[in-house]
Amino acid sequence: KAGVTQTPRYLIKTRGQQVTLSCSPISGHRSVSWYQQTPGQGLQFLFEYFSETQRNKGNFPGRFSGRQFSNSRSEMNVSTLELGDSALYLCASSLVAGTEYNEQFFGPGTRLTVL
């Protein structure tokens, strides 16, 4: 079974631009979560989608948004990029959402560099 895939793997943008990252979950998984990883702030939760609905959101500005499609694939968008948005963006999928032992499977991440 294929794992979580994220595209693109690397991305370079300039300040003020917008970017869209894509995540394809493991087949059959209906929940997708997004995390931002930076050296300074570590791993921070962005949001979670389940059955095309955002069910959980972290403490990020409105420039960060996401969506999920009927096939469970998810995209996240960052508008008006800032230098501080440079990070590794990780996507994780799981079978369902809202359970204690729900195991999340992570993709390799998209490395975003903002110049």
Partner 1 sequence: AQSVTQLGSHVSVSEGALVLLRCNYSSSVPPYLFWYVQYPNQGLQLLLKYTSAATLVKGINGFEAEFKKSETSFHLTKPSAHMSDAAEYFCAVRDSSYKLIFGSGTRLLVRP
Contact 4, 24 (CB under 8 A): yes
Residue 66 or 107 with smaller CB distance to partner 1: 107
Q: How far is the CB of 15 from partner 1 (least distance, A)?
A: 25
Q: What gap in Å lies between CA 88 and CA 45, rounded to an integer?
A: 12
Q: How far is the CB of 9 from partner 1 (least distance, A)?
A: 9
Q: Which residues bind partner 1 (CB under 8 A)?
A: 4, 33, 35, 42-45, 48, 56, 58, 90, 92, 97-109
Q: What gap in Å lies between CA 76 and CA 68, rounded to an integer?
A: 9
